[in-house]
Amino acid sequence: MGERALTSVQYGVESAHGTEVNATKILQGAEAVVPRDRIPSFPQESLGVRARSMRSEIYQIHVETLPVRIEHGYFQALPLIFGSGVKGNVTAAEQTESQSDYLWAFAPSMTAANNPVSFTMEVKEDVQPYTIEYCLTKRIRLAGRVGVNEPVNIEFDMFGKQVTPKAATAALSLAAVEPMIANLSEIYIDTTWANLGNTQKTDILREFNIEILTGVHPKFHGDSKLMTADAESWFEVMANFVFEGNANADAIFDAMQAQTEQAIRVKMYGSQIGAGDVHSCVVDMFGTWEEVTPLGQTVDGNNLHTALFHAYYDDTGAVLFDVNVTTDSNAY
């Protein structure tokens, strides 16, 4: 009988898309299921008997969705997630030699290929491990609630080539990780991308939920039941917030009514905050407020605003969004 205690998710970066590799790291704290990669069809035919079908067929093999959740988010997991969905011309640049912190600047091009990195994922247990190659990320979600003793939660959905029961990579080491602490999150709101990050809004942020649809998708070209390539399409970025019902929240409501364009920064920290921080995740986006509801929630007798930010293309800055991750790892 397979034991939950002996279950883990691990991964390795593929040197060529779709070429399976051994895992090199454990995705600690990740919860994943072994996804369905084929759906049998049972053709209904006129058989001259009181039965609709007498056969089954498999027409395609494909992992449409491999959902992964890390309830207690940590920074060292982020390069895998954004590298397999956003990427762009990113390198892990060392920031401070004594601290060995590295900046992963995921600045996706709006006009050229971003070439996300593919991974081989292993869902490992003590009875039967499973391998899924050619995994790329199509959806990313980061969410946090302030004041309720919680981390930042991470969810991401991958797609992949196929599920193969086989032995998993053995003897990988667990590593120290840095938690993403929801209480240490910050929000900045400015009117232009050039001024992004200049104006922090304090005493306002209660919740955030950022969702990125990467536009990365599989392609099928015949000669195989399996996907043979991948491609990129549109990015979509939306963010839900809950704000303290104060003057800053009222200004956001006014900006929604006037459809004033704004540049938003959400910055998530680890245990060290401010200048010289070793671990952080910064999500920047440009657009406007689609919906703001004053008195949208009430908590402990306090009125809160709920808000939905809709990111769109800033022609001046030639940008929709970007992500900057600083952590102590320089490899996927």
CA dihedral for 86, 104, 174, 73, sign (positive or negative): negative
* pLDDT higher than 90, residue 237: yes
- pLDDT tens digit sequence for 34-61: 999 999 999 999 999 999 999 999 999 9
Q: Is 204 helix (H, G, I), strand (E, B) or coil?
A: coil
So what's the pLDDT on residue 4?
83
Mean pLDDT computed over every residue of the chain: 94
Average pLDDT over residues 133-156: 97
> Do 265 and 196 touch, CB atoms closer than 8 A?
yes
* Region 8-30 average pLDDT: 97
Alpha-carbon torsion, ordered 240, 242, 246, 250, to 10 deg: 30
Residue 94 is predicted with a pLDDT of 76
Q: Which residues are within 8 A (CB) of 106 and not within 5 positions of it... i.e. 6 or more apart?
A: 82, 83, 86, 87, 88, 90, 322, 323, 324, 325
For residue 275, name the pLDDT band (cuts at 50, 70, 90): low
Half-sphere exposure (CA, 13 Å, Cβ side) for 225?
Answer: 12
CA 193 to chain centre: 23
pLDDT for residue 186: 96
Q: How far apart are CA 144 and CA 161, in angstroms?
A: 32
How do residues 161-209 score in pLDDT, each as one tens digit? Answer: 999 999 999 999 999 999 999 999 999 999 999 999 999 999 999 999 9
State yes or no: pLDDT of 260 exceeds 70.
yes
Give 26's pLDDT tier (boundaries 50, 70, 90): very high
pLDDT over 80 at 142, yes or no:
yes
What are the pLDDT digits (tens) for 63-116?
A: 999 999 999 999 999 999 999 999 988 878 777 655 678 999 999 999 999 999
Contacts of 34 (CB under 8 A, 6+ apart): 123, 130, 163
Neighbours of 149 (CB within 10 A): 7
Q: How far apart are the C-alpha atoms of 108 and 320, rounded to whole Å?
A: 9
> What is the pLDDT confidence band of residue 274, given thresholds at 50, 70 and 90?
low
**pLDDT at position 132 over 90:** yes
The model carries a pTM of 0.95
Q: How far is the C-alpha of 212 from the C-alpha of 224, rounded, in Å?
A: 31
* Region 121-128 average pLDDT: 94
The region of weakest confidence among 79-93, 206-220, 248-262, 316-330 is 79-93
**Percent of the chain predicted with pLDDT > 70:** 97
Percent of the chain scoring above 90 in pLDDT: 88
User: Taking 60 as the threshold, does the pLDDT of residue 281 lie above it?
Assistant: yes
The Cα 127–Cα 293 span in angstroms is 51
CA dist 157 to 84, 123, 162, 222, Å? 11, 14, 15, 25
Instruction: Compute the distance between CA of residue 77 and CA of residue 155 in angstroms, rounded to an integer.
Output: 11
pLDDT computed for residue 99 by the predictor? 62
Predicted pLDDT of residue 91: 78
